[in-house]
Structure 1
């Protein structure tokens, strides 16, 4: 078993295609197939189901993926620590982010400061919904990620407080109110989102026994904003994910307030690579300047 075989396995599990894996790693497609075949032969199990040029994890492959990712993370940490002995901070840091809330509001400041201090560390950001970010952390595919806390499965560093807000047409009767109750959405034309905040919004409404009239379901905020501005529907969104209200749209707090805490997370902070630990320490020092107005 080699690090190269484990890396091929991890990348193939991530991208789901032999050809894309070859492109990512800069090797031939036959090289990808050969590495996987050797690894499966040595382990005595089938890791992937082949479907033409694509591949999906078998049950045992899914179980072994987190172990493979853990070995690769430890290899990266070993290389980083060896570089540090020569006074050079270098390596690769992988961070998972869940959309505008962390990607646009928190990461830019943190990355600018981190890359100024550690210019030789290559930072890779991958974006997904909240639940997928959690899964990537559990699988050790990513060393750090942004999560909604509390989450007992991770060590976390709270960075900012977010809240759900009502997003209304400016001419809607509810726009004159200072805060919007859950019951105010009952029977109203409504836009639901399948993005990460969707389950939090659904829970807020369900806990109050409220059922709006769902007309649309979007992932993109720009689509939601367009329909709200036209007066077609109301919606709820995470405040940190929202831009300044466009023409024809107003934001109002909910009543009761529906807050959530955004945190930087890892399986264990005491097992991080030097680059990841440095990022967490920088985030800790930067907390005060990350507050969102």
Structure 2
């Protein structure tokens, strides 16, 4: 969750109108709606009741609003402590990420908001594999990185020269074409996969390594028929019935997955966590970017705080 999502929520909550809130935020209405949907997914509850003519706060939205305002005050105060004013912050910020983080982090919006608020900073952005990201952080070639790792991942981020906090966590889903042999089965298990082809990401992707490790720990063999470096290509191959895929749920949420059969595949070792990582040498621009994001611990506290108000609403998330 990032600061822009919270600002979007507060704008809609105060205006009770998506069009006016979008004008205030200087974004398109579709972009604002997407930001609110992403926030509702992260909080696992519905914040607004929408009809074709009206928008009102749902009970969980009423409970979340004072917390959201407090989060914004704290985040803005922290930014002011790091910078006397946006025009006084300058320098180069190298940011790296994994190839695809699904909708866990809205990178274009985050980077655009950062650039708008701190125009004196030159941002250099690149997508790289996780090991390359770590190497570049260690060598000072990047000031910050969004690094996806297995949920149990600890050691490299715990070393003194790297600092990190978790910003998102995701489980995995099995996706397949409706015509696939496994699509009509509700009891698919690990051993059922051995006779079916898989569409996989390249071995440099963290999501692929997590799946490979899960199969290896169970002493199971699977056949990777297609290995790709693009999530849209992966989903298209699955659509064509050329294989099944085990992918993070946020990737299965992409519009390109519409029409596929999706099943949560809940296992302790199938967890994909995204960390915001800096080093002890990262400068003020990297610290400012970090202050625009909220940790999973903060998210958990927010869910707990609005839990009573959102009872019975989490399964009805609509646009």
TM-score (norm. length: structure 1): 0.61
| In 2: Cα distance, 1:256 partner to 1:84 partner | 47
User: How many residues were matched structurally?
Assistant: 207
Give the unaligned 5+ runs of structure 2.
1-82, 304-316
Superposed, 1:267-278 pairs within 5 Å as 267-268=279-280, 271-278=281-288
Structure 1 residue 180: Cα displacement: 4.5
Aligned partners of 1:182 and 1:204 also within 8 Å: no
Work out whether 1:259 is the aligned partner of 2:267.
no
| In 2: Cα distance, 1:165 partner to 1:213 partner | 18
Give the unaligned 5+ runs of structure 1.
1-82
SS in 2 for 1:284: coil
Question: In structure 1, which of residues 270, 274, 284 is the aligned counterpart of residue 294 of structure 2?
Answer: 284
| In 1: Cα distance, 2:97 partner to 2:170 partner | 15
- Where do 4+ consecutive residues of structure 1 move more than 4 Å? 83-87, 177-180, 285-289
Superposed, 1:244-255 pairs within 5 Å as 244-255=255-266
Relative contact order, CA 8 A, sep 6+: which one is greater? 2
Structure 1 residue 250: Cα displacement: 2.4
Q: Which residue of 2 aligns with 1:209?
A: 219
SS in 2 for 1:262: strand
Q: Which deviations, in whole Å up to 9, do the C-alpha atoms of 1:165-192 show, x marking residues without a partner?
A: 2121122243345575322311211123
Q: Which residue of 2 aligns with 1:152?
A: 158
SS in 1 for 2:210: helix
| In 1: Cα distance, 2:186 partner to 2:94 partner | 42
Work out whether 1:137 is the aligned partner of 2:147.
no
Q: Which residue of 1 aligns with 2:99?
A: 99
Q: Structure 1's 110 and 179: CA in aligned 2 closer, same or farther, altered over 3 A?
A: farther
SS in 2 for 1:174: coil
Q: Structure 1's 122 and 103: CA in aligned 2 closer, same or farther, altered over 3 A?
A: farther
Q: Which residue of 1 aligns with 2:34?
A: none
Q: Structure 1's 235 and 249: CA in aligned 2 closer, same or farther, altered over 3 A?
A: same
Q: Which residue of 1 aligns with 2:191?
A: 183
Aligned partners of 2:198 and 2:224 also within 8 Å: yes
Q: Which deviations, in whole Å up to 9, do the C-alpha atoms of 1:248-291 show, x marking residues without a partner?
A: 422221142511221100123xx4311111111222389759x9
Question: In structure 2, which of residues 170, 190, 200 is the aligned counterpart of residue 192 of structure 1?
Answer: 200
Q: Which has the larger radius of gyration?
A: 1
Question: In structure 1, which of residues 221, 225, 238 is the aligned counterpart of residue 248 of structure 2?
Answer: 238
Aligned partners of 1:182 and 1:254 also within 8 Å: no
Question: In structure 2, which of residues 178, 186, 191 is the aligned counterpart of residue 170 of structure 1?
Answer: 178
Q: Structure 1's 144 and 102: CA in aligned 2 closer, same or farther, altered over 3 A?
A: farther
TM-score (norm. length: structure 2): 0.57
Superposition RMSD on alpha carbons, in Å?
3.1
Which has more strand, going by share of residues?
1
